[in-house]
Amino acid sequence: MTASQHMVQANGIRFRTMVDGPPQGDLFILLHGFPEGAESWSRPLSALARAGYLAVAPDLRGYGLTEAPKEVEAYAIDHLVEDVRSLIKAFGRDAAHVAGHDWGAIVAWFFAARNPEMTKTLTVLSVGHPAAVAAASRDDKDQQERSRYVALFLLEDKAEQVLAEDDYKRLRAMFARPNPEAVPRSAIDHFTRSLARPGRLTAALNYYRANLSAGGGAWEKLANIGNIKTPTVLIWGDQDPALGRLGAESTASHVDGPYRLEVLEGAGHWLQFERPDEVSRTLAGAANR
């Protein structure tokens, strides 16, 4: 099977989506993070399609060929959650299996909390429950160190300047930590070219600016979402440079439904590229439980 591209109207925005799998299959929606795009899910997308699911990976608002509102407030979590709800409806469904990585994981957590009746299963990559990560960013020196980059990302114009310097050298370098060969050069080039278009790097950074704050408690604004009742799996790489062990291990206390933490030893942050087969098996396995 080969993914096809579809432009979909949802929540007042035109989304570009990658779609694969039988139209009658259960819907699986896959949400990417910063600084990526729908292509980060290419291999899991194909694997899910072969397993009989209708797999959909959108470019989130501001990314890829999806429209990019200019206002910072347009990237607040409420709008991002509504994007997912509207996308599920746009594909003619009342519910879906929801998965997310990085910022897509945060959106997925919030979606499951606010729309449990629409969330068949929840699979999150790298990012623990927002309340767990908020507590770690407030109290844990290790997580505070890992979150230091957030202070830069919140600086309008300055962050854009720093990340764009020397042909986006720092942005490209993010993909090399800790496993330099994990993300193909072609993918890095594609994501970088996409964000180099006018206004697009700012749109991606607006996810941080609309939802996080400076200082040790960077994640505090996202803490109060309540416990999750949906069957949930968290996949976390123990070499992730941005998200430490405390946030991952304390997530269990914030999930009331069936829950499992899957630790990928030696893996970093870019799990769909570093461990695509394991991620794909976990996604399909979670949906079949």
- Catalytic machinery residues: 102, 208, 269
C-alpha distances in Å from residue 100, one per residue of 123, 163, 199, 240: 7, 24, 24, 16
Helix, strand, coil distribution of the chain in percent, nearest 5? 45, 20, 35
**Contact call for residues 126 and 102 (beta carbons, < 8 A):** yes
**Contact call for residues 21 and 55 (beta carbons, < 8 A):** yes
Cα dihedral sign for 272, 60, 58, 36?
A: negative
Is 228 exposed, middle or buried, given 0-12, 13-18 or 19+ CB atoms closer than 10 A?
buried
Reduce the DSSP state of residue 230 to 3 states and report it.
Answer: coil
- What is the rounded CA–CA span in Å between residue 100 and residue 123? 7
Amino acid letter, 217? G
Tokens of 101: 């990585």
The residues, any chain, with a CB within 8 Å of residue 209's CB and separated by 6 or more, are: 72, 75, 153, 154, 156
Tokens of 43: 């291999």
- What is the rounded CA–CA span in Å between residue 193 and residue 185? 12
**Contact call for residues 233 and 97 (beta carbons, < 8 A):** no
Amino acid letter, 109? W
The residues, any chain, with a CB within 8 Å of residue 202's CB and separated by 6 or more, are: 156, 160
